[in-house]
Chain A
């Protein structure tokens, strides 16, 4: 009878809490011409929920922490708990062995290099004005996107050695993740094994090697085909300074192999990449210059994931018009709908919509690209005006269906004007503007020419009425014009066919409302949003939507 008491007295466990809470409610209503011509869809619909993600951190001993996150969710419209959900959102444990070897197990976040394991941002999110951040926070949080980490069920460990000879420090990191579990009469289990070794030769030179192998375990199914995709990435960096201006050079290269053992129809493709970059920091800004080559056959499952799935059904008005047309994922869904996003990795290249991302749909790991990048960040022209600018010029390594190659350009510009400083007022008045431009061109005969341009203009203004209580307004206008060929690929990524798509569309997003920050991480916002999607090719009916939204967000 005494033993439980004795055990309890010997282990001085600690339990502490954190978490997030959100209350969201929105009411959407058809507007514009679709409101008159669509007599089938509901005029409006609404929904929302209260969510509390409560994190329990339990430390039975100093070197161990067990973490679980429980989601309590109550959808609006349910009574007496009939739409209440309690679910486990995350469970993990981490610790340190003898103050030397750290480990984590369970639902953990993993990242390596941009070519081995990396979760790239969704398209058109760069330089987004801050008044749209609440949507971005919502979408990313619901899909477990934490910066560029992948959330995986994994076991991970890392440790370091400090040395005093030619090598100053050695860092090792290794993990194994279960990407896909056993399926009854289905595909084999899909595992990912990875490791990194970083060698610091001096304060100036670092060497690193990263390896990820994703493979199916044939014995876990009764099939005869097993996927494999090893990727190796080696890096060398050098840090120095010129005239007291520090700079860092990084060169990385690597190889990939991808195939299906036991499938005679599946080709084994081998690809490579190399990237060189120079980063320099000055008082009035930062400069990044880069060169990148990615082979057309480079395949890396961990780095070529896409966040947005354009085939997904949208949450708001998935069908519209009297023809009951499925509404395509558009900028409004990219911005605000967590359900068009993807949490999984894919053994083949995921499809993308060139209208929204045609230059680097798979981030830096986009295959078949060679070119230069340049970026100037944090240019403080005055104390009230700063700007960022970035441009990327690429060509295809080999032509797609032709010897003519696409020429691709992706540029972005952002400016922030602190009007309160300019006008010498105490209350915050901030003006933000940005532009994202993509162009794709291909010369040649009429049947192979490409001339495509997409451009997103974004702007916002926020004015502090009383302390931390702001009136906000923002706008996004997106244009896509021209033509682009979409490759139809089979399950082995081999191109079977092409379709030449003609684009001429305009999308508009307008928001206006109020926002109050209790702290940086605790705020509420109430807004009216207006969305319009106009396809000038007349393939789809114009879609207009008004939305009243309230969101309270709290990070404990």
Chain B
């Protein structure tokens, strides 16, 4: 019986060996401790050649886990790339950059300022890097319609109202040098003008496009001026994209029997912005005579339209770099 008593007495002490090593809840260090920079911000892979696929990444470490932001700004182009993270260390896995932009225009061959800042701390750290060769967005997963660098293809037909402008402009483009300026005032019609980009005149072969509408993205750079109508108090410029399919392969879109899919939106920003949309997200017009199936391989043409309320005055939406991308938006 004494052995039993001894065992009963010892039993709880065996149990204490089950002590856990983790902590409960978020770290107090992360929430309340002062930030210390343990390792300064460094650039790994400076003077990078993005066109050949070389990456660049950053390293730094801190005394606590927190939200950080790396902002890379091209000193010539003004392009900006933002990298966000939450960790106590910046390394290759969370800061690799392949030369793309978060906001347009694209980076060029230039020097860039790198700024590291923190959400809950005023500390800001700067560094610099150089881009030897800018990123080439054209690859096996893209189909370029036009980047307008070889001037405007006259086979891309269209119509602009009298007094409204569609013109090739040089300098200040979203990508490289040239872009298509579109602006004007039309007080008798919603349409300012449109351009048809026929698929058989695209820069790249459209057969490289993936034929899965849920994985195919249309990308277009649009430069707005954010003009607000004094009449409606809404952004003045409307932009519409129309995708025409040639379902029977007769090299002609029959509006009475074949599909068209659209998307319309306000141009309520100033400067360049990349608009990317999944082909699956397009919607047919109210009366669609086709089979209703989105078939990217049967796209006949892409029409871009600049629209505005006739009562509201001038509208503007310049365009550049129309490109399809497979799998993800072009800037991802």
Contacts and interface: CB of A to CB of B under 8 A. Distances in A.
Interface of A: 236, 238, 240, 249, 251, 253, 272, 274-276, 291, 293, 295-296, 368, 370, 397-403, 445, 447-448, 485, 487, 494-498, 500
Interface of B: 4-5, 8-9, 11-13, 15-16, 18-29, 31-34
B29 A487 contact: no
A447 B22 contact: no
A399 B8 CA distance: 29
Contacts of B31: 401, 497-498
B316 to A, nearest CB: 46
A402 B26 CA distance: 8
B208 to A, nearest CB: 40
A448 B29 contact: yes
Contact of B22 (A240, A398, A448, A495): A398
A399 B24 contact: yes
Contact of B23 (A238, A274, A402): A402
Contact of B12 (A238, A276, A500): A276
Contacts of A238: 4-5, 8
A400 B11 contact: no
Contacts, number: 88
Given A249-B5, A402-B29, A497-B31, A293 B23 contact: no
What is the interface of chain A mostly: helix, strand, loop, or mixed? strand
B13 to A, nearest CB: 8
A50 B24 CA distance: 50
For the complex of A and B, the 9 pairs showing the least CB-CB separation, nearest first, are: A495-B25, A401-B28, A447-B32, A276-B12, A274-B15, A448-B28, A447-B33, A402-B28, A399-B23
Contacts of A251: 8, 11-12
Contacts of A293: 12, 15-16
A195 B82 CA distance: 60
B21 to A, nearest CB: 8
A402 B64 CA distance: 12
B33 A497 contact: no
Contacts of B19: 370, 397-398
A370 B16 contact: yes
Given A445-B33, A448-B32, A498-B31, A249 B8 contact: yes
A249 B9 CA distance: 8
A400 B8 contact: no
* Highest count of chain A CB atoms <10 Å: which of B15, B22, B25, B34: B25
A253 B11 CA distance: 10
A291 B33 contact: no
Nearest to B64: A447
Contact of A400 (B4, B12, B20, B25): B25
B5 A240 contact: yes
B29 A447 contact: yes
A399 B26 CA distance: 11
B63 to A, nearest CB: 10
B23 A276 contact: no
Contact of A403 (B9, B11, B23): B23
Contacts of A291: 12-13
Nearest to A273: B15
A122 B300 CA distance: 78
Contacts of A295: 18, 20
A295 B4 CA distance: 26
A370 B16 CA distance: 8
* Highest count of chain B CB atoms <10 Å: which of A398, A485, A494, A500: A398
A370 B17 CA distance: 11
B250 to A, nearest CB: 51
Contacts of B11: 251, 274, 276
Contacts of A487: 25
Nearest to B31: A498
A401 B27 contact: yes
Contacts of B28: 400-402, 447-448, 485, 498
A364 B138 CA distance: 68
Contacts of A276: 8-9, 11-12
A447 B31 CA distance: 9
Contacts of A403: 23
A433 to B, nearest CB: 35
Contacts of A448: 28-29, 32-33
B33 to A, nearest CB: 5
A443 B28 CA distance: 13
Given A276-B9, A401-B23, A498-B31, 6 more contacts: A238-B8, A275-B12, A398-B22, A399-B24, A401-B25, A498-B25
A496 B27 CA distance: 10
Contacts of A494: 25
Contacts of A296: 20, 24
Nearest to B20: A398
Contacts of B16: 293, 370
Contacts of B27: 401-402
Contacts of A495: 24-26
A401 B5 contact: no
A238 B22 CA distance: 36
A400 B23 contact: yes
Nearest to B7: A251
Contacts of B12: 251, 274-276, 291, 293
B331 to A, nearest CB: 31
25 contacts: A238-B8, A249-B9, A253-B15, A272-B15, A274-B11, A274-B12, A293-B15, A295-B20, A370-B16, A400-B24, A400-B25, A400-B28, A401-B23, A401-B25, A401-B26, A401-B28, A401-B31, A402-B27, A402-B28, A447-B28, A447-B33, A448-B33, A496-B25, A498-B28, A498-B32
Nearest to A278: B9
Contacts of A399: 23-24
Nearest to B13: A291
Nearest to A296: B24
A236 B8 contact: yes
A398 B23 contact: yes
A498 B23 CA distance: 14
* Highest count of chain B CB atoms <10 Å: which of A236, A251, A253, A401: A401
A299 to B, nearest CB: 13
A258 B31 CA distance: 28
Contacts of B22: 398
A253 B13 CA distance: 12
A448 B19 CA distance: 21
Contacts of B23: 398-403
A295 B24 CA distance: 11
Nearest to A444: B28
A290 to B, nearest CB: 10
A397 to B, nearest CB: 6
* Highest count of chain A CB atoms <10 Å: which of B12, B29, B33: B12
A263 B34 CA distance: 37
Contacts of B15: 253, 272, 274, 293
* Highest count of chain A CB atoms <10 Å: which of B8, B15, B19: B15
A532 B215 CA distance: 70
Nearest to B19: A397
A496 B30 CA distance: 12
A135 B34 CA distance: 48
Contacts of B4: 238
A369 to B, nearest CB: 12
